Amino acid sequence: MKTALTYDDITLIPAYSEIESRQNIDLTTQLTNNYSLRIPLIASPMDTVCDSKMAIAMARLGGVGCIHRFMSIEEQAEEVQNVKFAVYDNIFVTPFDSDFEIPIMAAIGANGDYLERAKELTNSGANVILIDVAHGHHKFVKEALFNLKKILPSYVDIIAGNVATSHAAIDLEFWGADAIRVGIGGGSLCTTRLKTGFGIPNITSLEDCSTAVNVPVIACGGIRDSGDIAKALAVGASSVILGSLLAGTDETPGPIIDGNVKRYRGAASRETKLVHNQSQRNVEGASTYVYYKGPVAAVIEGLMDGLRSALSYAGANNLTEFTPSYMNVTSAGVHEAKPHLIK
């Protein structure tokens, strides 16, 4: 059996570079088969991370926000309409080419009202639908992909997941997924591995899945800094989903509490289920507070500065050229990489 690796287990190896200015590095990437992003970032479909306010901000910055599904169909459709209006009806002018079709993304489940929800979201302007379930290698997801492909317009792409193995990724691609969300048990508030013992560390699952399929792979969970983003992209991800890094910003849902914190909770947490009147079973997430961070643009700018620097160390002008090698590191190597104060 091979050893499974996550972000702290590897370090990327510097290569010869002729990059003269890091600011000229192109971070354009594929979100799905038919939609691209100017930066490889997705705001997570969590109720304390992404509604229309965050999705609009992400669109302006070149990424995308996925409108969470923990609301009525009508409420979620209205959130999507808000994003569409802002993006296409000139509440703001995006700093990108006018011929660049901006993805508008929203989440659904894989049973219950998912077909009605998907149709309403699409009618309201969504062109990317995310099937948002914890275990994507499942009969319900297979049936959902088949049914959604039958009823939705051809311009609507569908992202499916979460999965962690090449077998699962191959099946999702065969079932019709236009991109695959990879990562089980690695999120900052996810307790799946603790509660069930199942999951695969992120680097290994991303490598296995991305080499097995031809559709874009999205890294989900465990991203703590721009270095982790670089590592995810280096081993095969086309983009990454962010939750905790964006939590606590102005654009996340919820008030600032006591002047310095905001609420942040996992999608499968007991609190999320309680707030949205769901059955409080199969709890596989936690809830917490995060420090208030100010505008999300400042957070994204810092992350993308770090990512452009990463590409420069690999001699890469763009993400297509970004294929650095890596080596495993010991716990001492992990410790050495962290900042240390002089005593």
Q: E-assigned strands of 193-323?
A: 217-220, 239-242, 261-265, 287-291
Residue 341 lies in a domain: no
Q: Tens digits of per-residue pLDDT, 105-132?
A: 999 999 999 999 999 999 999 999 999 9
C-alpha atoms less than 13 angstroms from C-alpha of 235 in its C-beta half-sphere = 25
Residue 290 lies in a domain: yes
What CA–CA distance (Å, rounded) separates 84 from 87? 5
Q: What is the mean pLDDT of residues 53-71?
A: 96
Residue 60 lies in a domain: yes
The verdict on whether 209 is a catalytic residue reads no
Instruction: Retrieve residue 248's tokens.
Output: 């606590």
- Measured in residues, the chain has a length of 343
Q: Band of the pLDDT at 164, cuts 50, 70, 90?
A: very high
User: Collapsing DSSP states into helix, strand and coil, what is residue 143?
Assistant: helix
What CA–CA distance (Å, rounded) separates 135 from 286? 18
The verdict on whether 190 is a catalytic residue reads yes
- Does residue 277 have a cis bond before it (omega within 30 degrees)? no
Among 130, 122, 163, 118, smallest CA distance to 42 is for 130
* Domain total in the chain: 1
pLDDT at residue 99 is higher than 70: no
The answer to whether residues 80 and 126 touch, using CB atoms and an 8 Å cutoff, is: yes
- In sequence order, the 6+-apart residues with CB closer than 8 A to the CB of 51 are 67, 68, 79, 253
Q: What is the mean pLDDT of the chain?
A: 90
Angle between helices 52-61 and 296-313 (to 10 degrees): 40
Please tell me which residue in 50, 66, 190, 209 is annotated as part of the active site: 190
- In sequence order, the 6+-apart residues with CB closer than 8 A to the CB of 23 are 308
DSSP line for 315-335: T-SBSSS----EEE--HHHHH
Among 301, 186, 185, smallest CA distance to 246 is for 301
DSSP line for 146-203: HHHHHHS-TT-EEEEEEE-SHHHHHHHHHHT-SEEEE-BS-STTB-HHHHH---B-HH
DSSP state of 12: E
Residue 340 lies in a domain: no
Q: What is the mean pLDDT of residues 41-56?
A: 96
Residue 1 lies in a domain: no
What is the enclosing helix (H) or strand (E) of 60? Answer: helix 52-61
Q: Tens digits of per-residue pLDDT, 219-272?
A: 999 999 999 999 999 999 999 999 999 999 999 998 898 889 888 876 555 555
Q: Tabulate helix, strand, coil % of the chain (nearest 5).
A: 35, 20, 45
Instruction: Retrieve residue 110's tokens.
Output: 């894989």
Domain assignment of residue 217, given as a range:
7-335
User: What's the chain's Rg over C-alpha atoms?
Assistant: 19
pLDDT for 71: 95
pLDDT at residue 284 is higher than 90: no
Residue 67 lies in a domain: yes
Q: Band of the pLDDT at 286, cuts 50, 70, 90?
A: low
C-alpha atoms less than 13 angstroms from C-alpha of 124 in its C-beta half-sphere = 24
Residue with tokens 């969970």: 221
- In sequence order, the 6+-apart residues with CB closer than 8 A to the CB of 112 are none
The predicted model scores a pTM of 0.91
pLDDT for 109: 96
pLDDT at residue 183 is higher than 80: yes
Residue 138 lies in a domain: yes
Instruction: Retrieve residue 104's tokens.
Output: 């508008």
Q: Tens digits of per-residue pLDDT, 184-203?
A: 987 666 777 777 888 899 99
The answer to whether residues 58 and 45 touch, using CB atoms and an 8 Å cutoff, is: no
Q: Which residues pair with 279 in a beta bridge?
A: none
Q: Tens digits of per-residue pLDDT, 314-337?
A: 999 999 999 999 999 998 888 888
What CA–CA distance (Å, rounded) separates 34 from 25? 22
Residue 2 lies in a domain: no
What CA–CA distance (Å, rounded) separates 170 from 87? 34
DSSP line for 29-44: EESSSS-EESSSEEE-
Q: What is the CATH number of the domain that holds 26?
A: 3.20.20.70
Q: Tens digits of per-residue pLDDT, 8-41?
A: 999 999 999 999 999 999 999 999 999 999 999 9
Q: Band of the pLDDT at 289, cuts 50, 70, 90?
A: confident
